[in-house]
Amino acid sequence: MSTQTLNPVAYGKLLAKVQPHAIKDEAEYDRLVAEVGRLMDRGEENLGPEETWLLEMISILIEEYDREHYPLSPIQPRQMLAFLMEQRGLEPHDLWPVLGSKSRVSEILNGKREISKAQARKLAEFFHISVDLFI
């Protein structure tokens, strides 16, 4: 968020124009998503402090609506592993040194074996992410 001083009059005018509030339906959701898009198209570095505050507030409202209406299903640790491998262009053989063997990697990716806590720690270190994604 910007460290510039917020102008309460300019911020008030911006709020009056956009009129952000708790999102109750898809039409309001779409309107606020469009407003975020308009602000983001300008580039965050080109926004004044009032617009930055507005962007943050609208983002929170959208996030809350998404969390309530479009909850994410929990992902299985092996699915997370497969996703990370795909995103980074890795092949199963790239994980042999991390997980110990070709068969161990195959068993995990095919759902025949769960990822152990020790393996989760090694994978988290390898991918530079939280171990929680593999537990």
Name the burial class of residue 134, with classes exposed (0-12), middle (13-18) and buried (19+) by CB atoms within 10 angstroms of its CB.
buried
CA–CA gap between residue 103 and residue 106 (Å, rounded): 5
Residue 1: inside a domain: no
The sign of the torsion formed by the CA atoms of 23, 29, 35, 41 equals positive
Predicted TM-score (pTM) above 0.75: no
Does residue 16 sit in helix, strand or coil?
Answer: helix
Question: Under 8 Å CB-to-CB from 22, ≥6 apart: which residues?
Answer: 61, 64
**So what's the pLDDT on residue 60?**
96
Q: pLDDT tens digits for 70-95?
A: 988 888 999 999 999 999 999 999 99
Q: pLDDT tens digits for 47-76?
A: 999 999 999 999 999 999 999 999 888 889
Structure-token pair, residue 51: 């617009």
Name the burial class of residue 31, with classes exposed (0-12), middle (13-18) and buried (19+) by CB atoms within 10 angstroms of its CB.
middle
**So what's the pLDDT on residue 3?**
56
Q: pLDDT tens digits for 2-61?
A: 456 899 999 999 999 999 999 999 999 999 999 999 999 998 899 999 999 999 999 999
Residue 103: inside a domain: yes
**So what's the pLDDT on residue 84?**
96
Residue 63: inside a domain: yes
Residue 3: inside a domain: no
**Domain end marker among 69, 88, 103:** 69
Residue 38: inside a domain: yes
- The verdict on 91 and 120 lying in the same domain is yes
**So what's the pLDDT on residue 1?**
45
What residues make up the domain containing 12?
8-69
